[in-house]
Amino acid sequence: MATCVCWFHLDLRLTDHPALDAAVASGDAVIPLYILDDDAAGKWQPGGASRWWLHHSLASLAADLEALGSRLVLARGQAEEIIPRIMAASGATTLHTHTRHEPWSRDQLGRVSSALEGRARINTYTGTLLKSPGQVLSKTGNRMRVFTPFKRNLLAGEPPRPALPRPSRIPAPAAWPEGDSLDALDLLPSSKSGQQDWATGMAAHWQVGEAAAHSAFDRFLDGTIDHYDTSRDLPSEIGTSRLSPHLHFGEISPVSIYHRVMERGLTNSGAEVFLSEIIWREFSHELLDQFPFMPDAPLRNEFSRFPWRDDYADDLAAWQAGRTGFPLVDAGMRELYSTGWMHNRVRMITASFLTKHLLIPWQEGERWFWDTLVDADLASNSAGWQWVAGCGADASPYFRVFNPITQGDKFSAHDYVRRWVPEIAGRDDRGLFSPRDDGAGLFAASEDGTYPLPLVDHPTGRERALSAFQRIKSA
């Protein structure tokens, strides 16, 4: 029997996996392969929280493969060296894999293609998005940079391909190539590495893997989706799908999600808004494909002249630690550090506070989220930060400054703040979100007397931000 290799990336599932489906359909024995290539990813290699999730997702995928009589071969190093070696040792002549859309991954695939030239064939498939970047075009055939028409044209065009079934068996090769153990990938923090094991508490908040992803989606479809349009803005409620890390690691495909939502029917605004969020992910990848520099530089060129502060080290550290003196901001940052996730409404508030109240460059926040989010996606993370900072495509206007005091009341975040900022849990609802503005205030309500003074008062921070924006408008 001939042999082929199925190269996994951020597609750690068996259901609706076009590359695996084609590999099995070929009749060849299949070697499932995952490579941790940190050199290729460079500074965008998985951050600490993502590495924790990746470890457990790979363990789940390996167990699922073993149940079908297969196994997951793991390797750490440069893909252009590992793949030719494994294919030569196994006699494989075909590599099946999904197209990836990060700039570094395209370069990586180019090097693999060069290394295999004349020796093996590479078959690529669309498996991580509904549509590949460049497929959704305007009426004039141009690529798009505004979300609403992008969404409209995606929905009006050909629907995504049908979701593929999970294979019932995967033919195994006569001999398995040597690989590394999961522990050898060194994805978990360790005392030896000197890393702080801040990921320890994440296990209490997440179930990882394909089965967990589909269970979470089932629960969401059972009722939450019907009021998602309003519940998604309420941090104190379980009103979101919490599918973002499962989607990022490909434990569930956007195609599967799309078809199940459409089969259920867009019978209410909750389902429509949820589908918009799935398409926002598509739009972010469209932007990244058009602008490979998006994770590093503003899409709006005038923001390259923005007068960010350069004396912000202490304020950045306070923001990262959830000690800004603004309870809603601090609750979000503590939730992030404890769970690897933050409620979407609070993500916008904390990002606005960093870039506008504190005048700290958005790239600093992007990097912190990259290291601490379990759903840190290069396209969505960079597009989201540029949206809040006002410098991206179709971005929120810079002069929109989220008020971290009124937002708490508006979106009923009282229980949320009391959970994550317990030192002020005894404060009454009326003053829970207000920073201390006198000699008592939050300090008196804090059980241990250690809640910090606000880094800046809201009116001063807002006016400073608008003044900075005016400088680049008039330049």
pLDDT in tens, 26-79: 999 999 999 999 999 999 999 999 999 999 999 999 999 999 999 999 999 999
* Residue 282 in this model has a pLDDT that exceeds 60: yes
Number of H helices, E strands in the chain: 20, 5
Placement of tokens 């294979």 in the chain: 167
Output the six-digit token pair for 115.
Answer: 């290394």
| Choice among 385, 387, 403, 420 that is catalytic | 385
Active site residue 385: yes
Where are the domains positioned within the chain?
Answer: 1-128, 131-160+210-290, 301-474
Residue 446 has a pLDDT of 57
Active site residue 308: yes
| Choice among 81, 272, 277, 423 that is catalytic | 277
Active site residue 420: no
CATH architecture of the domain 131-160+210-290 equals Alpha Horseshoe (1.25)
| Choice among 153, 198, 272, 344 that is catalytic | 344
Residue 453 has a pLDDT of 86
Average pLDDT, integer, range 111-133 = 96
Nearest-angstrom CA–CA distance, 257 and 251 = 11
Residue 216 has a pLDDT of 97
CATH architecture of the domain 301-474 equals Orthogonal Bundle (1.10)
Nearest-angstrom CA–CA distance, 389 and 379 = 15
Active site residue 280: yes
Q: What phi and psi, each to the nearest 5 degrees, are found at residue 86?
A: -70, -40
Nearest-angstrom CA–CA distance, 421 and 388 = 24
Which CATH entry fits the domain spanning 1-128: 1.40.20.10, 3.40.50.300, 3.40.50.620, 1.10.3720.10? 3.40.50.620
Q: Are 37 and 78 in contact (CB under 8 A)?
A: yes
Active site residue 344: yes
| Choice among 44, 104, 362, 387 that is catalytic | 362
Beta bridge partners of 32: 6
| pLDDT tens-digit readout, 156-183 | 999 999 999 999 999 999 999 999 999 9
Nearest-angstrom CA–CA distance, 343 and 432 = 19
Asked if domains 1-128 and 131-160+210-290 share a fold, the reply is no
Active site residue 368: no
* Residue 449 in this model has a pLDDT that exceeds 80: no
Residue 157, SS3? coil
Beta bridge partners of 124: 97
| Choice among 81, 153, 272, 280 that is catalytic | 280
Sheet holding 94-98, edge to edge: 73-76, 29-36, 3-8, 94-98, 121-125
Q: Are 11 and 256 in contact (CB under 8 A)?
A: no
